Amino acid sequence: MIKSVESVCVLGAGSTKYGKLDDSIVDITVQASADAINSAGIEPADIKAGYISNVFGIADKQVHLGPVIMSNLGISDRPSLSIESACGSGSVSFREAYANVAAGFYDCLLVAGTEKVTHTGTEWTTTYFAYCSDFFHEGSAGASFPGLFAAMARAYLTEFGATEEDFAQVAVKNHNNGILNPKAHLRKKITIDDVMKSAVVASPLKLYDCCPFSDGASAVILCTEEFAKKTGGDYIKVTGSGRGGSPAALQGREHITTIPSTVIASRSAYKMAGITAKDVDFAEVHDCFTIAEIVDTEDLGFFEKGKGVEAAREGRTALNSDISINPSGGLKSKGHPIGATGVGQVVEMYDQLTGQAGPRTVHDAHIGLTHNFGATGASCAVHIFESV
């Protein structure tokens, strides 16, 4: 009989390093999954089902990843599925996994996200990513992903009088955090000047305004609190889960400088968790480009519309400042293996809230938020986590 459960928990977490990886998409997904299983102190046989998020498996000659991963973990009899929601695949998959545990279908699940694209080269990766846009209106007219966010950036510069140097602050801050993360793709200190002098990719965005193309896999074990308690391992609670949508093409949005799905998903997650934006101690937000982090921190309610840029300039989003934004280094420095990113954010929640984040620890943190979206925010999921 199915009985809904009160608390859903993250019991274990694992990640490969993000970057240019040599191993296959299957190998890296299995490595991250095995790390999560070991971190949780469980056996593969405890896992009742697998949720695998991925976008471009076809680029590494493997789709239908679910059964392949489950077979490699020695639990080929367990059901699995693959979920694609562009760059938001990981959080969307996490949400569906969450709903299934909460509904009582399974007491313990594997949620793994993965991507392997760097071997295809910049032009083809750019081309594949453009397929995530509303292609009829955007990709077909030559819009790359940096281009779409650059269009948002141009609108923001025009509307709020921000400067390109302001955007660069986000890159500098996230690199400062990423240096402290051994799993990060770009562990390199950069300056405002470095960002400003980097090559223009899509004006006004320059190379250092953009997250890198990354390979990588992340996995977490999601379970009922009853199951978590039986294992005796460290766990954190998922207290809020929200999803939202936006017009798929930028042209369909009333305001180019806000992402409606972020607003909808976050308000839904806050309501469920019984908190407001002010209660959040730290957040992993979707900073695929510097402009995205500015827009995200406003849409999530951390700062008023148009003020996110001021907060970045004043260092109010740095590690252990007013609100630590992207302590992991974010997509910008930790990297963005698109199918893995949303799950990787949950790994950071687990590490931070169980005291395993080392030098990038957010002090006295009890409530964390993950925010991950697909494309220019056409799909989005926000989750709230609390320490126990």
Q: Indicate which residues carry an active-site annotation.
A: 87, 336
Distance CA 211, CA 25 (A): 20
At residue 195, φ and ψ (nearest 5 deg) are -65, -50
Of residues 8, 10, 151, 211, which one binds other proteins by CB under 8 A? 151
Of residues 28, 65, 150, 269, which one binds other proteins by CB under 8 A? 150
Contact pattern from residue 235 through residue 264 relative to other proteins, giving x for each residue in contact according to CB under 8 A and a dash for the rest: --------------xxxx---x--------
Sheet holding 282-284, edge to edge: 80-83, 49-53, 108-115, 216-224, 8-15, 236-245, 379-387, 367-374, 282-284, 324-325
Of residues 123, 232, 278, 364, which one binds other proteins by CB under 8 A? 123
Of residues 20, 137, 187, 229, which one binds other proteins by CB under 8 A? 137
Min dist CB 204 to other proteins, Å, is 7
Of residues 64, 104, 141, 163, which one binds other proteins by CB under 8 A? 141
CB 275 within 8 A of CB 385: no
Distance CA 294, CA 59 (A): 32
- Under the binding rule (CB under 8 A), the answer on residue 337 touching other proteins is no
Min dist CB 127 to other proteins, Å, is 4
Q: Which one of the spans 130-138, 168-176, 275-283, 364-372 is the region binding other proteins (CB under 8 A)?
A: 130-138
Q: How far is CA 234 from CA 129, 271, 333, 354, in A?
A: 37, 26, 27, 7
Min dist CB 291 to other proteins, Å, is 11
Among the listed residues 240, 219, 232, the one whose alpha carbon sits nearest the alpha carbon of residue 386: 240
- Under the binding rule (CB under 8 A), the answer on residue 28 touching other proteins is no
Residue recorded with tokens 């801050």: 173
| Structure tokens given for 236 | 């954190």
- Under the binding rule (CB under 8 A), the answer on residue 200 touching other proteins is yes
Peptide bond into 212 cis (omega under 30): no
Q: Which one of the spans 135-143, 272-280, 307-315, 321-329 is the region binding other proteins (CB under 8 A)?
A: 135-143
Min dist CB 190 to other proteins, Å, is 19
Among the listed residues 160, 168, 194, 195, the one whose alpha carbon sits nearest the alpha carbon of residue 298: 160
- Under the binding rule (CB under 8 A), the answer on residue 146 touching other proteins is yes
Binding residues for other proteins, total number by CB under 8 A = 37
Of residues 62, 100, 144, 198, which one binds other proteins by CB under 8 A? 144
153-172: contacts with other proteins (CB under 8 A)? 153-155, 158
CB 331 within 8 A of CB 287: yes
Distance CA 302, CA 3 (A): 36
- Under the binding rule (CB under 8 A), the answer on residue 126 touching other proteins is yes
Site for other proteins, rule CB under 8 A: 122-124, 126-127, 130, 136-144, 146-148, 150-155, 158, 199-205, 249-252, 256
